[in-house]
Chains A and B, each alone.
Chain A
Amino acid sequence: MKRLTRHALFWPASTLVLLLVVCAAFNPSFLSIAWRDGHFYGNLVDILNRAAPLMVVSLGMTLVIAVRGLDISVGAVVAIAATVAALLIGGSFSASGNATAEHPLWLALGTALTVAAACGLWNGLLVVKAGMQPIVATLILMVAGRGIAQLLTGGQIITVYYPPFFTLGNGYWLGVPVALWIALALWGVLHLALARTALGLFIRAIGGNPEAARVAGIRAASITLCVYTFCSLAAGVAGLIISSNVKSADANNAGQLLELDAILAVTLGGTALTGGKFTLAGTVIGALIIQTLTSMIYSLGVPPEVNLVVKAALVFAVMLLQSPDFRGLVLRVARGKAA
């Protein structure tokens, strides 16, 4: 039992299960999954689908936090990637009803992701080469990034008229949302990279003691640079999913507050903000917790205004549970009562 509760995923997983049980208690059909219109259908599928962009961003964020970093520019990068893709695809309906894109889809997506990766490289260079604190380095892009995205769109919301692009955010493959496939694929690739190469060991060493990692001959700077680049790339992928889902790009609002949700998902999942200790599975669960909470509030018929308060309460609870000092206090109080 003790080993179970000590497992890194115990608390996040229990939280998620508890949330789902509450949902099911209030709404017995909550957990049911049906087959409709050639794909799976139900609240759970919906949660997974909607949580996909957050999962993608959070996976990138996990690695950044693991190397003692933080990336608060992911929301802005989402906006930039979405804007670039939407501008390049554009599209219009011809008289015959056939949609055309202004540029080939692969080119548009490729460019958007390249731009996103470049944003990450910029962040990484500021952290590694200029030696800035991560939160400051990424604050710059967080502030300026949205301005740049708005500059690109001229302050307009760019609408896309090209159905093939909508697959990313609305399509299904084998009955499962494409967005979820993307998130799972990213998770799988990351997991392999961490398990089959020395990346995991290096990241934990850098996060645990950056100076010692450098002295041990690890190319800490290059790895940190890659991690920031990857995080922004993931944000770019999320930007594509989000803009595909709403069939447009809104430079001002796309990915708004996403950086906070992502950091939250990472923390809820059990990754330490102090670096070194991280878990990808925990992050995925963390993202699911956040989305389940939102869906739960809607499905229970609670006014959506409560959402933020509940989220805050949850963060406080998880934060305190993760704090050894708090657990110590609780134990002492409990013992005091028992004695």
Chain B
Amino acid sequence: MNRRLLPLSITILLFIGMAAFGAIRYDGFLSPQVFLNLLIDNAFLCVVAVGMTFVILSGGIDLSVGAVIALTTMISAALLDAGWNPCVTIALVLVLGAAFGALQGLLIQQFQLAPFIVTLAGMFLARGCCYLISTESIPINDATYAAIAQARIPVGFDSSLTIGALIALAVVLAGMRIAHATEFGRTVYAIGGGESSARLMGLSVASTKIGVYLLSGFCAALGGVVMTFYMLSGYSLHAVGLELDAIAAVVIGGTLLSGGVGYVAGTLFGVLILGIIQTLIAFDGTLSSWWTKIVVGVLLLLFCLLQRLFEARTRKAA
């Protein structure tokens, strides 16, 4: 088998293993809807994690995504409250998210600043802007939004998906294509493999780096839109700490945090694994919610150790 696909296969096997465990242990676990719900409940995380995958592949990090989601829900809710057209609102927040990301990318690229600090400041800024709009939760009463929120698309076997989940799937597919078959995607891998070498090869490192953060900002805003469909409200405390979940999903999905190696498809399974942990805990009923954190921590540990082992073996083989 292709060695490059090994981390991805482990992720997928882990997911299947957890699903099998649930199916044997709990009645009613093995129904299509339970699995579709993994995607429905984590649709926004999935969208954000795809954007984060590109950032991490390029060797950077984006801590602002959770705050950008919250800001998107706030702006959407406030604008809809003021009677804006839903389509215009969505288009505007997507552009704002992309612009926010691009601005961070510009600072990182142009002034050689650390992505960690720039996006940290971006996180403060976006959360701060939420509070400026309102400290209270703003409900969304728009008819279109309500319709989208309630829409269920049947997929057979008595089960259905939401619009949000479909958006998430579309983003994953688009992400896979961008990563695999576009100049931009390949340059992201090249930067992750070695920024100075990529520059010497004449690749457009600067614009790609900015593009990566733009994409992440866009995905965060889109994730925010999906969240408004899910929550039907704007709130400044939405998606607190979501950036950590996104990073965890990317790492569990087999992407190296040092950049250059990983697959968007892996991220989808990373998200699904995070989802299935919560579902397992919910099905169990006796376990408390903090077990999720502990299990995610343990998984992160296992995957990081595995990656180290994998790297060490590759080096020996070379």
Contact = CB atoms under 8 A, between A and B. Distances in A.
Asked if A and B form a direct contact in the complex, defined as CB atoms under 8 angstroms apart, the reply is yes
Interface in A49-87: 70
Contacts of B123: 260
Contact of B112 (A267, A316, A323): A323
Given A140-B301, A306-B132, A132 B120 contact: no
A133 B258 contact: yes
Contacts of A70: 116
Interface stretch (B151-159, B244-252, B262-270): B244-252
Contacts of B88: none
A316 B120 CA distance: 10
Contact of A315 (B117, B129, B288): B117
Contacts of B107: 316, 319-320
Interface string B112-128: 11101110111111011
Contacts of B132: 305-306, 309
B107 to A, nearest CB: 8
Given A135-B257, A305-B135, A319-B121, A143 B128 contact: no
A262 B131 CA distance: 22
A59 B239 CA distance: 30
A191 interface: no
B261 to A, nearest CB: 13
A106 B290 CA distance: 29
B28 interface: no
Interface string A265-293: 00100000110000000000000000000
B111 A325 contact: yes
Nearest to A137: B304
A: interface residue count bin:
35 or more
Interface residues of B, number: 43
A131 B311 CA distance: 11
Interface stretch (B34-42, B170-178, B207-215, B292-300): B292-300
A148 B294 CA distance: 7
Given A130-B308, A308-B128, A308-B131, A273 B116 contact: yes
A142 interface: yes
A312 interface: yes
Interface in A311-339: 311-313, 315-316, 319-320, 323-326, 329
A135 B114 CA distance: 13
B89 to A, nearest CB: 23
B110 interface: yes
A247 interface: no
B128 A136 contact: no
Contact of A312 (B124, B135, B247, B298): B124
B61 interface: yes
A111 interface: no
Interface of A: 70, 126, 130-133, 135-137, 139-148, 150-151, 154-155, 260, 263-264, 267, 273-274, 305-313, 315-316, 319-320, 323-326, 329
Complex A-B, nearest 9 residue pairs according to Cβ-Cβ distance, in ascending order: A144-B297, A147-B293, A308-B128, A309-B128, A305-B131, A312-B125, A150-B290, A312-B124, A315-B121
Interface of B: 61, 107, 110-114, 116-118, 120-125, 127-129, 131-132, 135, 244, 247-248, 251, 257-258, 288-294, 296-298, 300-301, 304-305, 308
18 contacts: A132-B304, A133-B258, A143-B296, A143-B297, A144-B294, A144-B297, A144-B301, A147-B292, A151-B290, A260-B123, A264-B120, A305-B135, A306-B131, A306-B132, A308-B128, A319-B118, A320-B107, A329-B111
